């Protein structure tokens, strides 16, 4: 890990006694107070609801500076990666720690081709889900079941990780596409060796025997960017879940399955779906977007514009800038006509020029534009979070791997502050 004790100390005074705690400084000068000995020294723990001020680990995967709008993977700025790489290059970077050279890239690409199919027995699993089963529920179950079909990780997980990572990155798109096809009652479309990663996914989603699908390069480019932008995002809820579950020695497939379930939560991975729901609400109200702008400004009104602002980014979401350009290019290329997209453009125009939104840094974020792109590509709303999971998978794998390789890693075990009944005598049943 590229972190070090800075030599400086934080001084803590508790009940008149003074304690010194070391300060850890990261490579981008982010600082943390190491409280690893706090309980032992003082008898106190810390209380930090939601872990907003707590670093659960050191990591060399992703750097995020919310106040300055900076995001980088393994030291590479997200802007450069999104412009110059395809998704599987970034996936390799996150898992292996460096960008692939031509031989490494070709080997990884061939592994993805080799592992694109899922075991034929797994296809029967789809038949036993209810017709309207949520796609994320199916995805979680199917990914978890991979540990039964590929049990080699139980022997030496780090030795076989490269193979398992390629297998998972390749198969998850097939599982996702099959989930959609089953929900539509359409015949399954198997992966093709002549298509790239994103092109293959789009073809498996939308090709039909009676209506062949044409893979548009503009659609592939937009999807590549979206997956890259979602590939990792530091210690968010789902990533923390993967690490917490993995800390118990759980295999990669089951740890990822747990992360999928965390991402499924509407407060985490459901933001882009909420954007489309908001646009539909406005459209049903005679496209009266000005009414909803005023509702968003009214502090007494619970309505909030979905897809604007971000919990971590206090200025702008760097991913939002990138995906806005991709969104504009795609809508022009596909010549999409959609009333919801027209409303989205008007909301975007207002937010970028209205002082209320500018002063509060409520700019459109990546979720605002990703929902629009997915809709333009024809991906249904209930598949949006599945798309998020496809992008986030390499980050989850990298985080799981990093934790397993860390000699100082321990099973996750947060503390609590008990606020229940104090100690009291037991009352026998006859006297209650």
Q: pLDDT truncated to tens, each residue of the chain (432 aa)?
A: 444 555 689 999 999 999 999 999 999 998 999 999 999 999 999 999 999 899 999 999 999 998 888 999 999 999 999 999 999 999 999 999 999 999 999 999 999 999 999 999 999 999 999 988 999 999 999 999 999 998 877 777 888 899 999 999 999 999 999 999 999 999 999 999 999 999 999 999 999 999 999 999 999 999 999 999 999 999 999 999 999 999 999 999 999 999 999 999 988 888 888 888 898 899 898 888 888 888 989 989 988 888 887 778 777 788 888 988 898 889 889 988 778 878 888 888 888 888 888 888 888 888 888 888 998 999 999 999 999 999 999 999 999 999 999 998 999 999 999 999 999 999 999 999
* Residue 95 domain flag: no
| CA atoms of 196 and 273, how far apart (whole Å) | 27
| CA atoms of 238 and 248, how far apart (whole Å) | 16
* Residue 367 domain flag: no
| CA atoms of 193 and 190, how far apart (whole Å) | 10
* Residue 75 domain flag: no
User: Model-level pTM?
Assistant: 0.93
| CA atoms of 277 and 325, how far apart (whole Å) | 23
Q: Which residues have a catalytic role annotated?
A: 310, 367
* Residue 31 domain flag: yes
Bridge-partner residues for 73, per DSSP?
62, 76
CATH number at residue 37: 2.20.28
* Residue 162 domain flag: no
* Residue 372 domain flag: no
* Residue 32 domain flag: yes
| CA atoms of 316 and 331, how far apart (whole Å) | 23
Helices (H) and strands (E) in the chain, counts: 18, 6
* Residue 46 domain flag: yes
What end-to-end distance do the CA atoms of the chain give, in Å? 58
In the chain, the number of structural domains is: 1
User: From residue 355, how far is each of 9, 122, 305, 351 by CA, in Å?
Assistant: 42, 54, 16, 8
Q: Which structural domain, as residue segments, surrounds residue 13? A: 3-55
């Amino acid at each position: 890990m590229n972190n070090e004790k800075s030599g400086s100390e934080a001084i803590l005074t508790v009940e008149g006694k003074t304690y010194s705690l070391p300060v850890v400084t990261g490579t981008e000068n982010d600082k943390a107070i190491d409280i690893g000995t706090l309980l032992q020294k003082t008898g106190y723990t810390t209380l930090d609801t939601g872990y907003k001020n707590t670093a659960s680990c050191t990591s060399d995967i992703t750097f995020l500076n919310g106040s300055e709008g900076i995001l980088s993977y393994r030291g590479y700025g997200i802007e450069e990666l999104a412009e110059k790489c395809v998704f599987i290059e970034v996936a390799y970077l996150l898992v292996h720690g460096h960008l692939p050279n031509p031989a490494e890239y070709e080997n990884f690409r061939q592994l993805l081709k080799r592992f694109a199919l899922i075991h034929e027995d797994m296809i029967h699993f789809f038949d036993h889900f209810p017709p309207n089963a949520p796609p994320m529920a199916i995805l979680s179950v199917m990914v978890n079941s991979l540990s039964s079909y590929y049990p080699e990780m139980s022997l030496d997980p780090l030795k076989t990780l490269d193979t398992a990572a390629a297998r998972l990155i390749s198969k998850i798109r097939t599982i996702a596409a099959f989930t959609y096809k089953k929900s539509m009652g359409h015949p399954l479309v198997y992966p093709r060796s002549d298509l790239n990663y994103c092109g293959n996914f789009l073809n498996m989603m939308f090709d039909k025997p009676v209506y062949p699908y044409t893979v548009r390069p503009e659609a592939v480019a937009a999807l590549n960017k979206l997956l890259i932008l979602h590939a990792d995002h530091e210690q968010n809820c789902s990533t923390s879940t993967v690490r917490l579950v993995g800390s118990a020695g759980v295999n990669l497939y089951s740890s990822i399955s747990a992360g999928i379930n965390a991402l499924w939560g509407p407060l985490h991975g459901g933001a882009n779906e909420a954007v489309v729901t908001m646009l539909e609400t406005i459209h049903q109200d005679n496209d009266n977007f000005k009414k909803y702008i005023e509702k968003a400004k009214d502090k007494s009104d619970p309505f909030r514009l979905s897809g604007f602002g971000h919990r971590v980014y206090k200025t702008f979401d760097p991913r939002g800038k990138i995906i806005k350009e991709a969104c504009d290019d795609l809508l022009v290329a596909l010549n999409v006509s959609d009333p919801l997209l027209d409303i989205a453009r008007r909301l975007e125009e207002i937010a970028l020029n209205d002082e209320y939104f500018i002063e509060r840094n409520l700019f459109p974020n990546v979720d605002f534009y990703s929902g629009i792109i997915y809709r333009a590509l024809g991906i249904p709303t209930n598949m949006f979070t599945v798309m998020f999971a496809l992008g986030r998978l390499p980050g989850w794998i990298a985080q799981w791997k990093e934790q397993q390789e860390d000699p100082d890693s321990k099973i996750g075990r947060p503390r609590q502050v008990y606020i229940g009944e104090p100690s009291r005598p037991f009352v026998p049943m006859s006297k209650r």
